[in-house]
Amino acid sequence: MSEQINIDELLTEMASSIKEHTGRSGHEDPLMIGIKRGGAWIAKQLHEQLGYSDPLGELNIAFYRDDFSTLGMHPEVSPSQLPVDIKNRHIILVDDVLYTGRTIRAAMNEIFDYGRPKSISLAVLIDRSGRELPIQADIIGKTIILNEGEHAKLSGPEPLALEIKQTG
């Protein structure tokens, strides 16, 4: 099951894809926001490689999760930090693994509570099977097919490593 994934390589590819995507769409000077925790680690690297002037935003979607009433408060919530006003900005939202799509929905809901962005593009390191909502990424590091009961989990921040685990 352990197919070696070179994360650094994927990140470099993603950075150039993002550059291409924003150029093509005419999204000048985008604002990058990572979803805590894995997405924020990825976003930090991408943010450095792309050399954006605005500081990186970090989003904690704990207050927007739709599974709150069954799973409860996430044990380690540190607050969201969006240091720049997002109103009318083009946003690149970054996450580590795109799975059901629920995290992205929660993240977008939260972003809108900070203001109305001009656009949101989604960049993910891993796009895996199992979508439950009509959400797809604009920039994808790698697409993998996983069965139900298999989970892709990013560990980090130093070093970043992807692990495929069986659960349940």
Partner 1 sequence: MTGNTIQLDNNGNLKHFLTTEGLSQSLLQKILDHAESFATVGDRPVKKVPLLRGKTIANLFFEPSTRTRTTFELAAKRLSADILNLNISTSATSKGESLSDTLQTLEAMHCDMFVVRHANSGAAHYIATQVAPHISVINAGDGRHAHPTQAMLDMFTIRRHKKEFENLRVAIVGDVLHSRVARSEIHALNTLGVLETRIVAPHTLIPKEVESLGVHVHHDMDEGLEGVDVVMMLRLQRERMRGALLPSEFEYFQRYGLTGKRLEKAKPDAIVMHPGPINRGVEIDSSVADSERSVILQQVSHGIAVRMAVMAMTMGRSGDDMEENE
Which positions touch partner 1 (CB under 8 A)?
A: 60, 62-64, 68-73, 75-81, 109-110, 112-115
Residue 17 C-beta: closest distance to partner 1, Å: 31
Cα separation, 117 vs 104, in Å, equals 15
Nearer to partner 1, 57 or 141 (CB): 57
In the DSSP assignment, the letter for residue 93 is E
CB of 29 to partner 1, least distance (A): 22
- Answer yes or no: are the C-beta atoms of 105 and 76 closer than 8 Å: no
Q: Which is nearer to partner 1, 14 or 33 (CB)?
A: 33
The residue (of 49 and 155) whose beta carbon lies closer to partner 1 is 155
- Reported in sequence order, the residue ranges of the chain that DSSP labels E, i.e. its strands, are 31-35, 57-59, 90-98, 119-128, 139-144, 150-155, 161-166
Minimal distance, residue 124 CB to partner 1, in Å: 23
Residue where the block lists tokens 């927007």: 64
CB of 15 to partner 1, least distance (A): 29
Rounded to whole angstroms, how far apart are CA atoms 167 and 78?
Answer: 27
Q: Give 101 or 138: the residue with its C-beta nearer to partner 1.
A: 101
